[in-house]
Amino acid sequence: MTQTVPAPDETAQPPSGPDQPERARRRRFWGMPGWARDLIEVVLIALILYIIIWNALQTVRVEGTSMVGTLQDQDLLLASKVSYDFGLNPARGDIVILVPPTDPTRDFIKRVIGLPGDVIEIDGSHSPTQVLIKPGGQGPWQLLKEPYLPQPWTTQDYCCKPNGTASSTPEPLTIPQGDYFVMGDNRNFSSDSRAFGLVARDKILAKAFLRIWPLNRFGGLGSGPTLETATTGSALLPLGGVLWIERVRWRRRRQRRRAAAAARHAVS
Q: Which of 55, 73, 101 is the last residue before a domain boundary? A: 55
Question: Are residue 73 and residue 159 in the same domain, yes or no?
Answer: yes
Predicted TM-score (pTM) of the model is 0.72
Whether 203 is a known active-site residue: answer no
Tens-digit pLDDT string for the chain (268 aa): 445 545 445 444 555 555 555 555 545 555 677 777 778 888 888 888 777 777 789 999 999 999 999 999 999 999 999 999 888 999 999 999 999 999 999 999 999 999 999 999 999 999 999 999 999 999 999 999 999 999 999 999 999 999 999 999 999 999 999 999 999 999 999 999 999 999 999 999 999 999 999 999 999 999 999 999 987 544 444 555 555 556 656 666 666 666 666 655 554 4
Domains identified in the chain, total number: 2
Give the structural domain span for 80: 62-238
Residue 245 lies in a domain: no
97 and 224 within one domain: yes
**Same domain flag for 51 and 168:** no
Do residues 51 and 135 both lie within one domain? no
66 an active-site residue? yes
- The CATH number that applies at residue 125 is 2.10.109.10
Does a structural domain hold residue 108? yes
Does some domain include residue 10? Answer: no
Which of 66, 167, 190, 193 is flagged as catalytic?
66
**Phi, psi of 73, deg, nearest 5:** -55, 130
pLDDT attached to residue 268: 46
Does 105 share its domain with 197? yes
From the candidates 83, 110, 203, 234, give the one annotated as an active-site residue.
110
Predicted pLDDT of residue 245: 56
Whether residues 89 and 222 share a domain: the answer is yes
